[in-house]
Structure 1
Amino acid sequence: MTRSARRTRRTRRMLSVAGLGTAALLTLSACGSSDSDSDSGNDSGSASSSASADQKLTGKVTVFAAASLKESFTTLGKEFEKAHPGTEVTFNFGGSDSLAAGITGGAPADVFAAASPKTMKTVTDAGDASGDPVTFVRNQLEIATLPGNPDKVASLKDLTTNSDLKVVLCDKTVPCGGAAQKALDAGKLKLTPVSYEQDVKSALTKVELKEADAAVVYKTDVKAAGDKVEGVDFPESADAINDYPIALLKDAPNTAAAKAFIDLVRSDDGQKVLTAAGFRKP
């Protein structure tokens, strides 16, 4: 066989292989198109969740949260770190007004969870929130008394008529203090406490240490205190229920992890932890 004939046969084989390759590519393309069409009917949230799940989260997430969220958020922080090795959730718990002031003053944080829309508004009005805050739980007031309720407190009015009682309230600038004032107004009652505290945990601690006979705090705080205090419900609390909003902060140092933490808080698992602590669903 001449060199020219061999070259001609080799060229024909190459063209044949190329044709087979093109057919295979066309077949794969058609399959891919079919798969895409079938997936388009699925919930877009599934794709988003899958993308989020595949994303590797690392680094620190700093959460500024109302003092009443301490127990439940600490639990959720541990769950988050377990689900995302390489992350660390740090918390700054306190009065929502103080936390808001810190954020607007430039304190570095990723997430803000406030005990009232009013304190969240301080942050949004300053342009320090990314997107609109979302209410994730609600909370209701309760009277915390000494164990066994030795003073027989049965109503909010009892706190105002017994001059021997040492009663503590949260400061009026703090959500729990603002809610207490709403409840007093609803009952047309006046109360002068022995002290105003800067957050709900400080008010509760006064009773736990027997430095006060009673305090108006949240149901969640009474529940968290266990047998250190006794809780007393009162009807006026229905007029002073606080919504708790949560928001991603505009200058969050770790946006991806911050969004994932907010997703956890709002998820079914997160809501189970919060309702078990005594919070109400929004």
Structure 2
Amino acid sequence: MFRSVAFRSVRLPRIAAVVVALCAAVVLLLSGCTNSQRDSSGTSPASAAQDGQEDAAVTVFAAASLKNVGDELAAAFVADGHPGARITWNYAGSSKLVQQIGQGAEADLFISADEENMAEARKLDEFRDADPVVVATNRLVLATAPGNPGSLTSLDDLKTDRELRIALCADGVPCGTLAHRYLDSAGVTLESPTEEANVSDVSTKVSAGDVDAGFIYSTDAQALQKNLRPDQGKVETFDIPGIEDNRYPAALTAGGAQNRTAQEFLDWLKTDRARSILAGYGFGAA
């Protein structure tokens, strides 16, 4: 009798331990199911943050003439209700940008300095469903190096002074297409001009005094003058007759159309705030 009771007193605590372990397992299982249901609902803060981070990065392929204003546009967009947005710029001549995208470079948004290169871009699969919108305008001018070392007084000097050193963009780049169009119509043949890949390169030549003058946009001439010291003199500009202002169309790529922040940035570029910033750098309204 005593042995039988002793046997049971040993087994009962073991059974109780097993029951407790099973109960704990059931509680953990139920908790896991609840968490799984919450995760699948899409309301998890971590999940939402990850989605937001994926959409926050925007890569913009932009004409080189937008380089001076790009950072300010991006900062204003972030401050204007898009605190997580990250705008990355790739600047080059518009024709070069079209080539890069055609070769597989990833972009969300393309801003061309003319409508001709946007038309070329729309032949690519990346822009098959694109709907370009003009966000700014610009004007080609002939700008002298600081202090006007070539003593230019008018565009007629290009015909008479064969020693003038002139820089212009390569043909096919918007600033080059316009410059060549004017020179052809005016019957001007430049003596050994220097041709550059984009307007920023021409502006650099003009600023450094490597040439007497260059065909650049009015926005670039304004930026050059702003960055000069008083003792460096003035950048003189001459309007080009018969040349219409450039229109800057912007369009989302196929990938950009799936990027919420890229869509919002394009919409924002049409706002009064964006136009005001662009106007401060000399760009005209669309």
User: TM-score normalised to the size of structure 1?
Assistant: 0.75
Matched-pair contact (CA < 8 Å) for 1:113–1:247: yes
For residue 59 of structure 1, the aligned residue among 40, 49, 56 is: 56
Matches within 5 A, 1:128-207: 128-129=126-127, 130-207=129-206
Tell me the residue number matched to 2:34. none
Matched-pair contact (CA < 8 Å) for 1:63–1:90: yes
Matches within 5 A, 1:28-43: none
For residue 71 of structure 1, the aligned residue among 64, 68, 71 is: 68
| Residue 73 of structure 1, CA deviation | 2.0
Tell me the residue number matched to 1:89. 87
d(CA) in 2 for partners of 1:92 and 1:209? Answer: 24
The more displaced of 157-166 and 65-74 is 157-166
For residue 255 of structure 1, the aligned residue among 249, 252, 259 is: 259
Residues 133-178 of structure 1: per-residue CA shift (max 9 Å, x gap): 1112111111121222232212222123212211111001100000
SS for the counterpart of 2:97 is helix
Matches within 5 A, 1:263-278: 263-278=267-282
The more displaced of 117-126 and 87-96 is 117-126
d(CA) in 2 for partners of 1:265 and 1:110? Answer: 14
Amino acid at match of 1:230: V
- Larger Rg belongs to: 2
Amino acid at match of 2:225: G
Amino acid at match of 1:127: D
With over 3 angstroms needed to count, the CA separation of the structure-2 counterparts of 1:188 and 1:164, relative to structure 1, is closer
1:239 and 2:273 correspond = no
Amino acid at match of 1:116: D
Amino acid at match of 1:267: T
Matched-pair contact (CA < 8 Å) for 1:155–1:232: no
| Residue 90 of structure 1, CA deviation | 0.3
Residues 192-247 of structure 1: per-residue CA shift (max 9 Å, x gap): 443100000101101111111110100000011125460312342x4242111100
Residues 15-57 of structure 1: per-residue CA shift (max 9 Å, x gap): xxxxxxxxxxxxxxxxxxxxxxxxxxxxxxxxxxxxxxxx968
The more displaced of 210-219 and 74-83 is 74-83
Tell me the residue number matched to 2:284. 280
Amino acid at match of 2:237: V
Unaligned runs of 5+ in 2: 1-50, 229-233
Matched-pair contact (CA < 8 Å) for 2:110–2:252: yes
Tell me the residue number matched to 2:119. 121
Matched-pair contact (CA < 8 Å) for 1:179–1:241: no
Tell me the residue number matched to 2:100. 102
Amino acid at match of 2:277: V
| Residue 254 of structure 1, CA deviation | 5.6
Unaligned runs of 5+ in 1: 1-54
Tell me the residue number matched to 1:216. 215
Matched-pair contact (CA < 8 Å) for 2:163–2:191: no
| Residue 275 of structure 1, CA deviation | 1.4
Amino acid at match of 1:86: G
Amino acid at match of 1:152: S
With over 3 angstroms needed to count, the CA separation of the structure-2 counterparts of 1:114 and 1:167, relative to structure 1, is same
d(CA) in 2 for partners of 1:98 and 1:256? Answer: 26
Q: How many residues align?
A: 227
d(CA) in 1 for partners of 2:97 and 2:240? Answer: 30
User: TM-score normalised to the size of structure 2?
Assistant: 0.74
d(CA) in 2 for partners of 1:275 and 1:62? Answer: 23
| Residue 186 of structure 1, CA deviation | 3.5
d(CA) in 2 for partners of 1:266 and 1:118? Answer: 21
Tell me the residue number matched to 2:77. 80
d(CA) in 2 for partners of 1:185 and 1:137? Answer: 27
Identity rate, percent: 34
